[in-house]
Amino acid sequence: MSERFTVVEIISAKRDKHDLSDEQIDWVVDAYTRGVIADEQMSALLMAILLNGMNSREISRWTDAMIASGEKMSWSMLDRPTVDKHSTGGVGDKITLPLAPLVAACGAAVPQLSGRGLGHTGGTLDKLESIKGWKASLSNNEMLKVIQECGAVICAAGAGLAPADKKLYALRDVTGTVEAIPLIASSIMSKKIAEGTSALVLDVKTGSGAFMSDPKDAALLARTMVDLGKRAGVSTRALVTAMDVPLGLTAGNSLEIRETLEVLAGGGPSDVVELTLLLANEMLDAVGIKPKVSPADALKNGMAMDVWRKMIKAQGGDNDAPLPVAKEKIEIKADSSGKLLTLDALKVGISAWRLGAGRQKQGEVLQLGAGIEIHAKPGDIVKTGQKILTLHSDESARFDRAKEALVGAFSIGGVDDPIKRLPLVIERIEG
């Protein structure tokens, strides 16, 4: 078939800072998905977008074109409203795990499509695969059945959902164009809109351990995504939250599942509980649910844990099987006494990655027990020789490089020294 445009004219237009027309955007996304446009040509266009940006109309049309490349799901057959949450990712960010069953326990349906980790940020599906037998890939019918039975499902996006994004994401990852706000926003929102949820709450991370280390960039990304949701008729709101310090006290797959179970049992680290409850209240409010039992009470009384166990079992998981434990561990201790002033999320994330908790390329097999336990957070008083971190790995040969990543990861000062860290929630953005 003859093509409506040539890709070179579209690359040149964006290179020269011109806006792309709706027709050009529709064609370029479709043609790349069909294999008409070569990877090196699309790479050039992605770099031009990174450097020269897109206006709100272009971003919206690019998102629509990616949605149109595949199927759109519907949950109209459910007897309760659907709401989803998306996090842009960070170190120790296991919030989706207790959040989905908690929101389901309070009366909403949660069709949670999640992803795998790459680099220093962990992936929800990788964490769940620490549970013996648990299955990430479900058909649409299987997904519906789990939601009907449990109120929530956490699984991988099917191949039919925004296939253009799958191709584009893989290319962005190897061409240095991941950080482009128009491309991040359209990537996330094309999948979430195609997923068919009626409401969406975004957790946009900022700080050293996040894609967007500058809070201003994170807020711009959040506003861009909220606007895309609004244009698509999805009730969308966002919280810009801190990722300068790891969330909770663990980073690594089975370690984070263990911490999730502590939260669902009514305990767990205060920052994980606080953010889980904040997001649960936002999700319920977004679909107009005033629950008979508050999210805080549903964590304490076991309602959320009951949904979790049911959901894990429905996806083939064995709730009673022991979680993977790494074969080797070493401790990093304080070399002085005083107040812990900093704990750098990026350095902790890279160290956990080097221990085997993360992958360097798609498809790499993870060490599910690898990762880092955190024994002190900024503000805590520590003594010389006290444990700050415990490193876990199946291979002791990994410890040297993991320790190298932790040089300067934390600092200890006087008990009266101020702590410089971001507040847990920096900004709230609503459409």
For residues 416 and 346, give the distance between their C-alpha atoms in angstroms, rounded to a whole number. 26
Amino acid at 170: A
**Hey, what amino acid is at 149?**
E
Per residue in 214-236, pLDDT (tens digit) is 999 999 999 999 999 999 999 99
User: According to the model, what pLDDT value does residue 362 have?
Assistant: 65
List the Cα angle 371/152/325 in 5-degree steps. 20
Report whether 85 contacts 283 (CB < 8 A).
Answer: yes
Q: Tell me the H-state helices in 16-156.
A: 22-34, 39-52, 56-68, 96-105, 124-128, 140-150
Catalytic residue among 26, 64, 165, 244: 165
Tell me how far apart the alpha carbons of residues 390 and 393 are, in angstroms, rounded to a whole number.
10
Task: Tell me the domain boundaries of the chain.
Answer: 7-53, 83-320, 328-413
Cα atoms in the Cβ-side hemisphere of radius 13 Å centred on 361: 1
Determine how β-strand 235-242 pairs with β-strand 425-430.
antiparallel
The one catalytic residue in 86, 166, 167, 237 is 86
State pTM to two decimals.
0.94
Pick the CATH number of 328-413 from 3.40.50.300, 3.90.1170.30, 2.60.120.330, 3.40.630.30: 3.90.1170.30
Is 332:347 a contact under the CB 8 Å cutoff?
no
Q: In this structure, are residues 197 and 82 in contact, taking their beta carbons and an 8 Å threshold?
A: yes
Task: Please state, in angstroms and rounded to a whole number, the distance separating the CA atoms of residues 243 and 208.
Answer: 6
Rounding to the nearest 10 degrees, give the CA dihedral for residues 93, 252, 264, 290: 20
CB-based contact 248:375 (threshold 8 Å): no
Looking at residue 134, its pLDDT comes to 98
Q: What is the residue-level pLDDT of the chain in tens, covering all 431 positions?
A: 678 899 999 999 999 999 999 999 999 999 999 999 999 999 999 999 999 999 999 999 999 999 999 999 999 999 999 999 999 989 999 999 999 999 999 999 999 998 877 667 778 999 999 999 999 999 999 999 999 999 999 999 888 889 999 899 888 878 888 889 999 999 999 999 999 999 999 999 999 999 889 999 999 999 999 999 999 999 999 999 999 999 999 999 999 999 999 999 999 999 999 999 999 999 999 999 999 999 999 999 999 999 999 999 999 999 999 999 999 999 999 999 999 999 999 999 999 999 999 877 666 788 999 999 999 999 999 999 999 999 999 999 999 999 999 999 999 999 999 998 999 999 999 97
Using CA atoms, how far apart are residues 62 and 67, in angstroms rounded to an integer? 9
Q: Residue 348: what pLDDT?
A: 97
Which amino acid is present at 201? V
Active-site annotation holds for 79: no
Indicate the pairing of strand 235-242 with strand 199-206.
Answer: parallel
Taking the C-alpha atoms of residue 242 and residue 363, their distance in angstroms, rounded to an integer, is 29
CA quadruple 318, 153, 76, 61: dihedral positive or negative? Answer: negative
Count Cβ atoms within 10 A of the Cβ of residue 378 and give its class: 0-12 exposed, 13-18 middle, 19 or more buried: middle
Catalytic residue of the set 61, 94, 120, 191: 191
Q: How far apart are CA 345 and CA 159, in angstroms?
A: 32
Domain 83-320: give its CATH code. Answer: 3.40.1030.10
Catalytic status, residue 21: no
Q: Which amino acid is at 217?
A: D
Contact call for residues 84 and 197 (beta carbons, < 8 A): yes
Cα–Cα distance for residue pair 207/243, rounded to 1 Å = 5
- 8 Å CB contact between 188 and 225: yes
Span between the terminal Cα atoms of the chain, in Å: 42
The Cα–Cα gap between 40 and 33 comes to 14
The CATH number given to 7-53 is 1.20.970.10
Q: Which single residue is written with the structure tokens 């960039």?
A: 217
Per-residue pLDDT at 29: 97
Residues linked to residue 109 through DSSP beta bridges, in sequence order = 82
* Secondary structure (3-state) at 126: helix
How many alpha carbons fall within 13 Å on the CB side of residue 76?
3
User: What whole-number distance in Å separates Cα of residue 223 and Cα of residue 21?
Assistant: 23
Active site residue 165: yes
Q: Phi first, then psi: what are they for 179, rounded to 5°? A: -75, -5
Q: Which of 187, 190, 235, 351 is catalytic?
A: 187
Residue that the structure tokens 């409506």 belong to: 4
What is the model's pLDDT at position 28? Answer: 97
Whole-number pLDDT of residue 265:
97
pLDDT at 119: 66
Judge whether 172 counts as a catalytic residue.
Answer: yes
Q: Which of 120, 172, 192, 347 is catalytic?
A: 172
**Residues 392/329, Cβ–Cβ less than 8 Å:** yes
Beta bridge partners of 339: 381, 413
> How far is it, in rounded angstroms, from Cα 195 to Cα 84?
9
CB atoms within 10 A of CB 271: 19
* 126 given a catalytic annotation: no
